[in-house]
Structure 1
Amino acid sequence: MSKSPSHLAAILLALLVTFLWSTSFVIIKIGLAEIPPLTFAGLRYTIAFICLLPFAFTKTNSSVIKNLEKKDWLKLVLLGFLFYAFTQGTQFLGLSLLPAVTVSLWLNFTPLIVAVMAIFLINEYPTKLQWFGVVLFIVGIFTYFFPVALSENLGIGMVVMTVGVFANSASAVLGRNINRESRIIPIVVTIISMGIGSILLFVIGIIHQGLPPISFQNYLYLLWLAVINTALAFTIWNFTLRTLSAMESSIINGTMLIQIAVLAWIFLGEAITLQEGIGMLIAAFGALFVQLRKSPLSKGEFRK
């Protein structure tokens, strides 16, 4: 993948990637019937890290790693904790407690929180369109959940996902800060932060939840999530960024909420009422407006 793809090819490839990322929610929900959430998340990203590790030994990447300063290592370690240990750990925990669509919808809070955090941390101020998107998203969330009636599991799940959204938002701002400096190659950022975060998550999972016998089917799911939905999807997504504009990437990425809803309905039996569907669409448009000024996901950053 050395040449930039044609515009149509880039759009189709980007849609393929969002589809792969959307299937992750369904696969994870199925796998959680056998594998505890933290152990599951740790296994997925540890395997993905092992797949990407050989790239750390190329001449260019090894040179970058050798020249990393102490402050670079501190940022990468913090990114590993935030994005992999906390964000992915809470996402898997959330999926064990909540419907896939609810988790997906809650994750769409991320660009809103990033927009606010960016004001104080990296001096980026939202546009009027982005503020309108914030209001629209909140209206969509209210429409989706009204009237609010959460069971104990749903309540705990929402708290867990809220922690995850803030961790995801903080990692997004930190990731943008690292990439702004343009000193570290994106693949190096990914390999180091994923290695640190995934191993920590795996160890925590083993200590607190154990490692149960895993069926052959779930081994296949793990390999698919790690190799196809993480390593390969990441590579294809970065390839499409050479051609697509920030707006196009944001719009395509925003289709995931709908894709996840359809896949969860087909494979998990998670039905969506008319009111929930309307709320979801309003929230999706709100999240899109918030992201329109932003660049697409930075190279080296995984979406799902």
Structure 2
Amino acid sequence: MFLFKSLSLYLLIDSNFYSKKGVLLKLSLSYFIACLLIVLIWAGSFIFIRIGLKDFPPITLAFLRFATASPLLLIFYLFNKNKDEKETHFNLKFIFLKLNVLALTGVSLLYIFQFYSLKFISASVGSIIINLTTIFMVLFSVLFLNEKLNKRKILGILIAFIGVSILVSNGWEKINFSSTQFLGCILMLGAALCWAIYSILTKKVLEFNSNLTITLITFLLGTAHLFPAAFILENPLKAIFKASKIGWLSVFYLGFLSSALAYFLWNKILIKSEVSKVGAILYIIPIPTIIFEYFLLREAVATITLIGAFLVIVGVYLTELA
């Protein structure tokens, strides 16, 4: 119930649903469903990453994820390319500079950081720390997209930062910089920074280019980045031949749902909203992640984790009221 209320709040405060006079417009059911699907799918992805890492090394799992997602998205593209409202105009600079940066920040580097991180921290902690994406997005939006930062947004950011700092320091105990907990948190912060950069750049690129085409090319380039990294740094063939059925189920969940479907929906709503407001979706993800973690992984959630999660959610509430 809290998840639905949080999503409802997010939609109600989004500027797309208000006229200039502040009159509430009719909520878009498809927009709500897209947000809900993203929350549930990406919450589940933290669980399936943890499961998949039992059978596959991190970069190999990331490669298999996008090697699965890319053909699915290509098939969808071939059937729907004529329905695109925008054409994508390619040149060498566009492909090798802008799209490779999108692929690095939104696929390869992002998931190398995230998958290695989840070897050391729980799914719930990871899903909370990734919420710093929103803080990075707000700051980047102010710097590069001319979005405004007021006192309430600043307060929300600070409260959210306190919540995340509790998790990084394990309740503000003495920080052990050599601990796996600290390393996992730092890696997840790197993933959050990558995702924020990707979202900012994607919003700019999608102003004049097809969402479906850009998503497909980003996936293909990201897969191309991960392929040599997996073979140079890991032993993917050994893992592939020895993987269990549940390991392969994780690959297909991450590839089909968490990548192909969720990325397309994410880029779709980026077109319709302020970047900082879209980032608010990420704050809701820890709620179902904690539930999934308890029932699927049988991992109890520490009280300090719940406190950190609460502060993060309060932070986004204040930020989105601004």
TM range (shorter): 0.7 to 0.9
Alignment of 1:1-304 (within 5 A): 7=28, 11=32, 14-57=35-78, 58-59=81-82, 64-65=87-88, 67-73=89-95, 74-144=97-167, 145-148=170-173, 149-150=175-176, 152-179=179-206, 182-211=207-236, 212=239, 213=241, 214-234=243-263, 253-290=282-319
**CA deviation profile, 1:163-209 (whole Å, cap 9, x unmatched):** 22222222222112212xx2111111111111101221132112211
- Asked whether the equivalents of residues 38 and 209 of structure 1 are also in contact (C-alpha less than 8 Å), the reply is yes
Larger CA deviation: 236-245 vs 248-257: 236-245
Provide TM-score, normalisation by structure 1.
Answer: 0.81
> Offset at 1:141?
2.4
2:87 alignment partner, SS class: helix
The number of residue pairs the alignment matches comes to 286
Output the CA distance in 2 between the equivalents of 1:267 and 1:55: 31
**Residue type matched to 1:26 in 2?**
I
2:225 alignment partner, SS class: helix
> Offset at 1:11?
3.5
Aligned position for 1:296: none
**CA deviation profile, 1:212-267 (whole Å, cap 9, x unmatched):** 12223322221222113332344566788999999996665532111111211222
Provide TM-score, normalisation by structure 2.
Answer: 0.77
Structural RMSD (CA): 3.2
- Asked whether the equivalents of residues 137 and 282 of structure 1 are also in contact (C-alpha less than 8 Å), the reply is yes
> Offset at 1:99?
1.0
Judging changes above 3 Å, is the alpha-carbon distance between structure 1 residues 273 and 220 closer, same or farther for their aligned structure 2 residues? Answer: closer
Output the CA distance in 1 between the equivalents of 2:75 and 2:107: 20
Larger CA deviation: 158-167 vs 190-199: 158-167
1:123 alignment partner, SS class: coil
Listed as ranges, the gaps of 5+ residues in structure 1 are: 294-304
Output the CA distance in 2 between the equivalents of 1:186 and 1:142: 35
Larger CA deviation: 240-249 vs 28-37: 240-249
- Asked whether the equivalents of residues 110 and 191 of structure 2 are also in contact (C-alpha less than 8 Å), the reply is yes
Larger CA deviation: 25-34 vs 239-248: 239-248
Output the CA distance in 2 between the equivalents of 1:44 and 1:100: 18
> Offset at 1:288?
4.5
- Asked whether the equivalents of residues 254 and 288 of structure 1 are also in contact (C-alpha less than 8 Å), the reply is no
> Offset at 1:140?
1.9
Judging changes above 3 Å, is the alpha-carbon distance between structure 1 residues 71 and 129 closer, same or farther for their aligned structure 2 residues? Answer: farther
Aligned position for 2:7: none
Aligned position for 1:298: none
Output the CA distance in 2 between the equivalents of 1:193 and 1:103: 24
**Residue type matched to 1:171 in 2?**
Y
- Asked whether the equivalents of residues 6 and 243 of structure 1 are also in contact (C-alpha less than 8 Å), the reply is no
Output the CA distance in 2 between the equivalents of 1:34 and 1:139: 35
Judging changes above 3 Å, is the alpha-carbon distance between structure 1 residues 46 and 292 closer, same or farther for their aligned structure 2 residues? Answer: farther
> Offset at 1:114?
1.9
Judging changes above 3 Å, is the alpha-carbon distance between structure 1 residues 21 and 292 closer, same or farther for their aligned structure 2 residues? Answer: farther
**Residue type matched to 2:228 in 1?**
V
- Asked whether the equivalents of residues 51 and 250 of structure 2 are also in contact (C-alpha less than 8 Å), the reply is no
**Residue type matched to 1:146 in 2?**
G
Judging changes above 3 Å, is the alpha-carbon distance between structure 1 residues 120 and 7 closer, same or farther for their aligned structure 2 residues? Answer: closer
Query: % of aligned pairs identical?
Result: 23
